[in-house]
Amino acid sequence: MRIYPLKFRPILKERLWGGTKLEKVLQKPIVSDITGESWELSAVSGDVSVVSNGELANTSLRTLIDRFPEALLGKSVVERFGKEFPILIKFIDAKQDLSIQLHPNDELAKKRHNSFGKTEMWYVMDADAGAELIVGFNKNVTKEQYSKSLEDDSLLELLNYETVNKGDTFFINTGKIHAIGAGVLLAEIQQTSDVTYRVFDFNRKDKNGNLRELHTEMALDAIDYEKKDDFKVRYDRTLDATNSMVDSPYFKTNFLNLTTDFIQDTASRDSFTIYMAVDGVADLKTNEGSARINKGETVLVPAMANRIHIETNGVQLLEVTI
């Protein structure tokens, strides 16, 4: 079977800090006013994406990978990851501040959780005036200073705050302490992993009146305690061109700001291509079929496609490959 560009049903997640922007801005079919995440493309156990368009509708991503591993993923991706889908794609709406957290690296995640680590990037799609992210420390700290800040409730004084606007992009490597602030709607691209070490949650209680679990001890050996300025992604926004944003061992992301039709040659890519529409609308066409992508939607183009014809009068896309 020749595999056409695939769309998937969003997997919607209620979160203590969630809101309604996923519906109001991205037209997601939420059923709760605390919806925090829309998992767009996932092979995480228990949350596997299911195709929503064309003759493969109702087929799970796992089934597709089992049936067409190289055609869907690319030979080099299969050689590296086997039949594991290495990327998790989300939209996140933070009505309230998220917990302050970090993620372990591959080695530690494998040892403790039999999982990949969680390197991720954020693209800000919408931000209330003055909205902030927490990314890293504002000075070098020691493990002892960090531990003392938890004891005396002064952790927030050690953290680096970044005021954000639409289009701002951040690369969050493993070990970096971080949090998405209230009023931010963003696209998240990450390694396939759901391993998070929560270290502070503003003493909030869940709907049952319980404090959420913290992972204080596990986080101690996973944190990067150095102050670093390596997180803000600076990228070109040249019209009708492929602009590199992130080029990491885990994923590569480009920014496409298209005003007219565009052809992306993927013959030598040997990887699937993911498109996230962060504004506008386009039709993505290959020899095997087509899919329309609207703002807030995600499309997976199989590795077997040698070129992708993007028809549009105006669209902004995040393009993700391995």
Give me the CATH number covering residue 106.
2.60.120.10
Residues 183 and 67 in one domain: yes
Q: Is 130 among the domain residues? A: yes
Structural domains counted in the chain: 2
Residues 44 and 125 in one domain: yes
- Is residue 301 predicted with pLDDT exceeding 80? yes
Among 170, 188, 220, give the residue marking a domain's end. Answer: 220
- Give residue-wise pLDDT tens across range 250-272: 999 999 999 999 999 999 999 99
Residues 253 and 209 in one domain: no
Domain that holds residue 267: 243-321
Residues 204 and 247 in one domain: no
Which residues, in sequence order, are bridge partners of residue 177?
A: none
- The catalytic position among 2, 9, 62, 198 is 198
Residues 294 and 192 in one domain: no
Residues 266 and 127 in one domain: no
The residues near 192 (Cβ < 8 Å, ≥ 6 apart) are 42, 43, 44, 84, 85, 86, 87, 88, 116
Among 220, 254, 281, give the residue marking a domain's end. Answer: 220
The reported pTM is: 0.95
Residues 148 and 23 in one domain: yes
Decide: 22 and 28 in contact? Cβ < 8 Å. Answer: yes
b/e map 157-168, b = 16+ CB within 10 Å: ebbbebebeebb
Q: Is 234 among the domain residues? A: no
- Give residue-wise pLDDT tens across range 228-241: 999 999 999 999 99
10 Å CB burial of residue 7 (0-12, 13-18, 19+) is buried
Residues 249 and 150 in one domain: no
Q: Tokens 């990327």 label which residue? A: 87
Q: Is 36 among the domain residues? A: yes
Q: Is 276 among the domain residues? A: yes
Phi-psi category of residue 83: left, alpha or beta, with phi > 0 → left and psi -120 to 50 → alpha: alpha
Q: What is the mean pLDDT of the chain?
A: 96
Residues 20 and 138 in one domain: yes
Q: 16 falls in which pLDDT band (50, 70, 90)?
A: very high
Phi-psi category of residue 240: left, alpha or beta, with phi > 0 → left and psi -120 to 50 → alpha: left
Q: 130 falls in which pLDDT band (50, 70, 90)?
A: very high
Q: 248 falls in which pLDDT band (50, 70, 90)?
A: very high
- Give residue-wise pLDDT tens across range 176-222: 999 999 999 999 999 998 889 999 999 888 778 888 899 999 999 99
Q: Is 11 among the domain residues? A: yes
Q: Is 199 among the domain residues? A: yes
Instruction: Measure the CA–CA gap between 86 and 190, rounded to whole angstroms.
Output: 9
Q: What type of residue sits at position 186?
A: L
- Give residue-wise pLDDT tens across range 100-126: 999 999 899 999 998 888 999 999 999
pLDDT of residue 304: 96
Which residues, in sequence order, are bridge partners of residue 190?
A: 88, 120
Residues 247 and 214 in one domain: no
- Is residue 284 predicted with pLDDT exceeding 90? yes
Lookup: tokens for 234:
């600076």
Decide: 284 and 301 in contact? Cβ < 8 Å. Answer: yes
Q: Is 129 among the domain residues? A: yes
pLDDT of residue 212: 87
DSSP string, 71-102: HHH-HHHHHHHTT---EEEEEEEESSPPPEEE
Least confident of 33-37, 154-158, 163-167, 194-198: 194-198
Instruction: Measure the CA–CA gap between 302 and 287, rounded to whole angstroms.
Output: 11
Active site residue 15: no
Lookup: tokens for 28:
């997601």
b/e map 286-313, b = 16+ CB within 10 Å: bebbbbbbebbbbbbbbbbbeebbbbbe
pLDDT of residue 30: 97
Residues 206 and 84 in one domain: yes
Among 188, 220, 252, give the residue marking a domain's end. Answer: 220
Q: Is 228 among the domain residues? A: no
Lookup: tokens for 287:
């020899």
Helix (H, G, I), strand (E, B) or coil at 304: coil
Residues 129 and 174 in one domain: yes
| Pairing outcome for strands 132-137 and 159-163 | antiparallel
